[in-house]
């Protein structure tokens, strides 16, 4: 059997500035790059034209081509990771496995299984920090506990940031890759998916947009956000390179990257937030969960233009402007009193840039159940949000062509009534 060390790609689909890959190539000869289409994840996706899966497949194809040019290849498998590793151990004399850390509950459980399997064969399992500047456990308060509020966390984060944290990992010792002819790459259809009509935003970090981010980010009609979420999610860009750009160009943009790390830290320390409120008292709220109203919200037919434009944008493109995300989430949870978990699940299905920690954190913030949450008595007024951030109706008219006609529905609920109902419902539940 051929002796190899394995580098396992997961949320780091790039060759440049990849910590785990750098370490593997620095420490081992005959490094075999591996990617597993994890059926435990893919089987849960109902839409077989999921643009995110197509995106991953495209990136895997690109990696495959890039490695081929270096005289090597990418081994691509489809299946349960534990079963795949059992298969690999019978095919190769595996010396070590290298990979970058993932902090989501499923990923941690999966990695523990693989680690145990490898250790039973006396094979080391090396993991590295790559998708974050500071990972869970690196930013703690004076008592050695995790921060529950963002502002003090961000201050410590910024005070700890040094040039070394943003340095790229290079040079890569490509000569240590396994030299092999091109290995077989399964097609999108072979893993049970098909092409999507939704297009993927560019991974180029537009310096003009980042430079003006603090002035333009709240206006959905403007091209004022970087749209890099999906690339951060799957690691097609380096967080170190992006944070370096943000540090040079715009503090507000850098702050958004810190929010991302804050929510990942919250999830790592509080895995229960996946299906429970961060603040347990809020699990007492008696949600109305009206299915007809939920369907109207999903379809963008609530009669509130800023809400409907956002939902239609999401359904058509897999993207929704961040300001609008806050408005539609507040509307669902406060105006309609529908469980934040319903909205979170819908976003998880539709968003190209879906990332568990940020999605969960954002929804719990809007519902008042999470960290730093807006207080329950603060209820966004969709009409004033619209007036403030899309006063010329440019965004609304783009997504609701029938806006000024009889075809557009009347408001599903009166704002004043809904606001008071939400406040009373929350207050009563929290005072039990």
Write the pLDDT tens digit of every residue in 246-272. 999 999 999 999 999 999 999 999 999
pLDDT at 410: 97
Tell me if 124 is assigned to some domain.
yes
Catalytic residue, candidates 287, 301, 315, 349: 287
Q: In the structure, what pLDDT confidence band is assigned to residue 382 with cuts at 50, 70 and 90?
A: very high
Q: In the structure, what pLDDT confidence band is assigned to residue 176 with cuts at 50, 70 and 90?
A: very high
Catalytic annotation on 174?
Answer: no
Catalytic residue, candidates 8, 157, 259, 399: 259
Among 247, 269, 291, residue at a domain's last position: 269
CATH number of the domain encompassing residue 38: 3.40.50.620
Q: What is the pTM of this model?
A: 0.96
Is 215 in the same domain as 304?
no
Catalytic annotation on 340?
Answer: yes
Q: Alpha-carbon torsion 59, 65, 71, 74, what sign? A: positive
Catalytic annotation on 259?
Answer: yes
Strand partners, 125: 97
Is 383 in the same domain as 396?
yes
Arithmetic mean of pLDDT over the chain: 96
CATH number of the domain encompassing residue 264: 1.25.40.80
Is 243 in the same domain as 305?
no
For the chain, the domain total comes to 3
Q: In the structure, what pLDDT confidence band is assigned to residue 376 with cuts at 50, 70 and 90?
A: confident
Residues 170-191: b if buried by 16+ CB within 10 A, e if exposed: eebeeebbbebeebebeebeeb
The 10s digit of each residue's pLDDT in 100-112 is 999 999 999 999 9
Tell me if 178 is assigned to some domain.
no
Is 371 in the same domain as 332?
yes
- 231: containing domain: 132-169+205-269
Tell me if 410 is assigned to some domain.
yes
Q: In the structure, what pLDDT confidence band is assigned to residue 420 with cuts at 50, 70 and 90?
A: very high
Catalytic annotation on 365?
Answer: no
Catalytic residue, candidates 342, 363, 365, 399: 363
Catalytic residue, candidates 8, 340, 342, 365: 340
The 10s digit of each residue's pLDDT in 334-347 is 999 999 999 999 99
> pLDDT at residue 394 above 80?
yes
Catalytic residue, candidates 322, 349, 381, 393: 322
pLDDT at 189: 96
Record the tokens describing residue 6, joined without a space: 């394995």
> pLDDT at residue 374 above 90?
no
The 10s digit of each residue's pLDDT in 300-325 is 999 999 999 999 999 999 999 999 99
Is 116 in the same domain as 146?
no
Catalytic annotation on 297?
Answer: no
Is 120 in the same domain as 78?
yes
At 129, is the secondary structure helix, strand, or coil? coil
Catalytic residue, candidates 54, 82, 135, 256: 256
**Cα(355)–Cα(180) distance, integer angstroms:** 35
Report the residue count for the chain. Answer: 432
Is 224 in the same domain as 290?
no
pLDDT at 259: 97
Distant-in-sequence, close-in-space partners of 156: CB < 8 Å, separation ≥ 6: 139, 141, 147
Tell me if 196 is assigned to some domain.
no
Is 158 in the same domain as 88?
no
Among 76, 106, 130, residue at a domain's last position: 130
Tell me if 197 is assigned to some domain.
no
Q: Report the pLDDT averaged over residues 87-115.
A: 97
> pLDDT at residue 20 above 80?
yes
Q: Which of 370, 151, 366, 195 is nearest to 282 (CA)?
A: 370
Q: Report the pLDDT averaged over residues 124-143.
A: 97
Q: Which of 401, 398, 380 is nearest to 390 (CA)?
A: 398
Tell me if 341 is assigned to some domain.
yes
Is 67 in the same domain as 144?
no
Is 161 in the same domain as 260?
yes
> pLDDT at residue 395 above 90?
yes
Is 92 in the same domain as 157?
no
The 10s digit of each residue's pLDDT in 204-223 is 999 999 999 999 999 999 99
Tell me if 363 is assigned to some domain.
yes
Tell me if 182 is assigned to some domain.
no
pLDDT at 105: 96
pLDDT at 366: 94
Is 101 in the same domain as 142?
no
Catalytic annotation on 393?
Answer: no
pLDDT at 372: 80
Q: In the structure, what pLDDT confidence band is assigned to residue 19 with cuts at 50, 70 and 90?
A: very high
The 10s digit of each residue's pLDDT in 148-158 is 999 999 999 99
Among 269, 293, 315, residue at a domain's last position: 269
**Cα(347)–Cα(82) distance, integer angstroms:** 29
Q: Which of 10, 4, 65 is nearest to 32 (CA)?
A: 4
Q: Report the pLDDT averaged over residues 385-414.
A: 97
Q: Report the pLDDT averaged over residues 270-281.
A: 96
User: Which residue blocks in 192-270 are alpha helix, DSSP H?
Assistant: 207-211, 213-216, 229-234, 239-249, 251-269
**Cα(253)–Cα(181) distance, integer angstroms:** 43
CATH number of the domain encompassing residue 344: 1.10.579.10
pLDDT at 431: 86
């Amino acid at each position: 059997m051929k002796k190899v060390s394995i580098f396992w790609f997961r949320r780091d689909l790039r060759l440049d500035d990849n910590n785990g890959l750098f370490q593997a190539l620095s420490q081992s000869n005959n490094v075999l790059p591996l990617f597993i289409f994890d059926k435990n994840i893919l089987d849960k996706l109902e839409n077989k034209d999921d643009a995110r899966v197509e995106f991953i497949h495209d990136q895997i194809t690109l990696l495959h081509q890039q490695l081929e040019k270096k005289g090597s290849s990418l081994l691509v498998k489809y299946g349960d990771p534990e079963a795949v590793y059992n298969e690999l151990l019978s095919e190769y004399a595996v010396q070590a496995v290298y990979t970058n850390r993932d902090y989501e509950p499923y990923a941690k459980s999966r990695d523990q299984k693989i680690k145990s399997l490898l250790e039973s064969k006396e094979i080391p399992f090396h993991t590295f920090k790559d998708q974050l500047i500071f990972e869970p456990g690196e930013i703690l308060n004076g008592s050695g506990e995790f921060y529950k509020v963002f502002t003090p966390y961000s201050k410590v984060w910024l005070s700890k940031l040094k040039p070394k944290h943003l340095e790229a990992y290079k040079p890569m010792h490509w000569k240590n890759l396994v030299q092999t002819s091109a290995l077989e790459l399964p097609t999108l259809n072979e893993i049970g998916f098909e092409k999507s009509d939704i297009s993927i935003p560019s991974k180029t970090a537009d310096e003009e947009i980042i430079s003006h981010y603090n002035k333009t980010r709240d206006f959905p009609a403007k091209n004022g956000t970087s749209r890099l979420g999906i690339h951060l999610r799957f690691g097609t860009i380096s967080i170190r390179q992006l944070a370096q750009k943000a540090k040079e160009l715009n503090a507000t943009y850098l702050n958004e990257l810190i929010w991302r790390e804050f929510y990942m830290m919250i999830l790592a320390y509080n895995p229960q937030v996946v299906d429970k409120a961060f603040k347990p008292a809020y699990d007492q709220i008696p949600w109305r969960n009206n299915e007809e109203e939920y369907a109207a919200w999903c379809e963008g037919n609530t009669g509130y233009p800023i809400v409907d434009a956002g939902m239609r944008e999401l359904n058509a493109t897999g993207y929704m402007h961040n300001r609008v995300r806050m408005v539609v989430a507040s509307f669902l949870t406060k105006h309609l009193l529908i469980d934040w978990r319903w909205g979170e699940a819908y976003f998880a299905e539709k968003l190209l840039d879906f990332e568990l920690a940020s999605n969960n954190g954002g929804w719990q913030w809007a519902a008042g159940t999470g960290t730093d949450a807006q207080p329950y008595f603060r209820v966004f007024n969709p009409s004033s949000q619209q007036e403030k951030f899309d006063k010329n109706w440019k965004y609304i008219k783009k997504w609701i062509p029938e806006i000024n006609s009889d075809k557009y529905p009347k408001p599903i609920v009166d704002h004043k009534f809904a606001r008071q109902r939400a406040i009373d419902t929350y207050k009563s539940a929290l005072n039990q």
